[in-house]
């Protein structure tokens, strides 16, 4: 079992979500709800890993969960 951090990016205009898997380059999907976006991300991750295996590429693993920090910037 592998564990990956998902970045869920809400689209305020549509209410949908784009999902990126930062450690897997190009692994991006979307969903109309958070639940659908996460389910689609699982499918996208499996497909990404299978493709990488077929190409003989190394499968990246996160050593520790990624963290997000919000900061305020005066601009």
Task: Please tell me the distance from the alpha carbon of residue 30 to that of residue 16, in angstroms, as a whole number.
Answer: 7
pLDDT at res. 19: 97
Residue spans of the domains in the chain: they are 7-54
Residue 1: both structure tokens together: 């079992």
Task: Please tell me the distance from the alpha carbon of residue 37 to that of residue 44, in angstroms, as a whole number.
Answer: 10
pLDDT at res. 22: 94
Indicate the pTM of the whole model.
0.86
Helices (H), 11-73: 34-54
Instruction: Give pLDDT tens digits for 26-65.
Output: 999 999 999 999 999 999 999 999 999 999 999 998 888 7
Task: Please tell me the distance from the alpha carbon of residue 40 to that of residue 31, in angstroms, as a whole number.
Answer: 7
């Amino acid at each position: 079992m592998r564990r990956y951090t998902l970045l869920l990016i809400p689209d305020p205009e549509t209410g949908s979500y784009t999902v990126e898997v930062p450690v897997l380059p190009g692994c991006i999907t979307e969903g109309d709800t958070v639940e659908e976006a996460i389910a689609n991300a699982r499918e996208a991750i499996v497909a990404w890993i299978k493709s990488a295996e077929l190409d003989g590429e190394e499968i990246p693993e996160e050593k520790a969960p990624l963290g997000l920090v919000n900061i305020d910037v005066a601009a």
